[in-house]
Amino acid sequence: MIPNTSSPKTQKERGAFSTPDWVVRLMLGFLRPMASPAPRVLEPACGDCTFLRGLREVHPALFAKAEKVGVELHPASPKGEPGGVRVIEHDFLLWEEREAKYDLIMGNPPYGIPSPSKHYAYRVSSATRSEYKKRFRTWFGKYNVYGAFIEKAVRLLKPGGQLLFIVPATFLLLDDFKKLRAFLAEEGQTQLVYMGDGVFRPSASITTVILNFIRGREDAGRLLLQDYDAETGGLKEIRRLAAWHGEIITFTTEFTERLSALCSARLGDVFAVKVSPRTPEIRGNPLIAKEPTPEMLPILNGRNLKRGKILYEPLSGYWIHPRHKNKLRKFFETPHVVVGLGFRGDRELGAAYDALAYPWMGDVYHLLPHHSLWRTTHLEPADVVNYLNSPLVGRYIRDSFREIVYHLNITLLKLIPIPEEALGNVKKFPLPKQEAQFPTKPS
């Protein structure tokens, strides 16, 4: 979505950042031929019609013969619209156009979790948010508004119609978008071009993909994931699926494939992964104290977890009596491996063994053995800790999930390959040099 003012606050509140011209031209290079003599073209959240302007520049003949529509909640623009465009002043998500009749829909939808709360940047009223949730079948969890834009745009496409959006890449991995991924897999074929986190800098550091979607049940479930190489302007294939059903979309490299081949299981095969109580649960619990008695235990959090070590110190400011810790979580009674999931930049995954079985809170996860499988392995807890703290796992995380998310969730953590046998072969596995990252802006 293109803002109508240069105010950073306005951009943030609307989830709106201008699309660079080179990205618009790149996206328009994916256009397929249109059979209709008078194709219908739509730009949702059009702002000053950046994509329609690009269409006029890159495909002037198509622009001239097309019926062109823009929808924008704040249509005032210092540039004005390009000739022949009908701009409708409306919230695209509440716009009552229901008929699937567009040959091409293109743009840069806003992003953000819509909420009346001051804790979220994308501010909408409670009534508007409730209306959004009622209208979209893909709405789930802490849904991001760009997902609703994708769903509505797909529904407005004719069979064979094309959707070209640049959107955050989070829908590839997060559980909040599982319904959206399944919807895309049902409705047509999906091409994703990974652009990295540099497209909108310096205004924002958002990891993005170009979504090129063709509606049509006959080709439903086809998926192509590619990298964009700005140095050559070319595309590098990462993976291709003929029968995608909406599963999370991870990245593969020679390294991830070789490590997976050496490991006979995934973490989720050997362990159940549980999450610690969150702060609101702790804060509102009558068993929790902020002024402890001598027999109480401090509740540990992420600051107590170091790689290979736990600091049994009162850092959270919350305490509980030992006989009550199982009322927070039953597994707090049993020693087990704990994992911290921050890994972006220098923050890699960190694991340690909680031999004293303390209570925890916050972004710390707990690995509880599936005992039928655990008994068949030759692993000890120390092996698991050392392996999860190793450069091998750090590299696997970076290669598979890239910089899309700040923290791994349970679903992603369960995907980490883990050996069921002793770690000898894996420890000898060479860690390759880090490949150069593709730039996201051409020189």
pLDDT score of 11 more than 70: no
pTM here is 0.87
Other C-beta atoms within 10 Å of 425: how many? Answer: 11
List the domain boundaries for the chain. 21-249, 258-428
Look-up of token digits 């009223």 = 125
**Is 8 a residue whose pLDDT tops 50?**
no
Of the given ranges (49-63, 309-323, 398-412, 429-443), which has the lowest mean pLDDT? Answer: 429-443
Task: Look at the domain 21-249 and name its fold.
Answer: Rossmann fold (3.40.50)
CA distance 238 to 244: 15
pLDDT at 99: 79
Segment 421-426 mean pLDDT: 52
Cα-based distances in Å from 419 to 261, 263, 428: 10, 4, 13
Q: What percent of the chain has pLDDT over 70?
A: 88
- Of 209-223, 280-294, 370-384, the poorest mean pLDDT is in 370-384
Non-local (6+) Cβ contacts of 431 within 8 A are 391, 392, 395
C-alpha dihedral, 277 to 278 to 279 to 283, nearest 10° = -40
Contact predicate 177/118, CB 8 Å: no
Q: How far apart are CA 185 and CA 99, in angstroms?
A: 21
Average model confidence (pLDDT) for the chain?
Answer: 87
For residue 171, the one-letter residue type is: F
Cis peptide before 298 (omega within 30 of 0): no
If we measure between CA atoms, which residue out of 374, 382, 359 comes closest to residue 309?
382
**pLDDT on residue 422:** 46
Q: Which of the two residues, 427 and 356, has the higher pLDDT score?
A: 356
The pLDDT value given to residue 2: 32
* pLDDT for the residue numbered 436: 34
SS3 264: coil
Neighbour-count burial of 91, counting CB atoms closer than 10 A to its CB (0-12 exposed, 13-18 middle, 19+ buried): middle
Q: Which of 38-52, 118-132, 366-380, 413-427 has the highest mean pLDDT?
A: 38-52
Evaluate whether the domain defined by 258-428 bears CATH number 3.90.220.10: yes
Look at residue 185 and give its three-state secondary structure. helix
Active site residues: 108-109, 111, 200
Question: What CA–CA distance (Å, rounded) separates 147 from 235?
Answer: 25
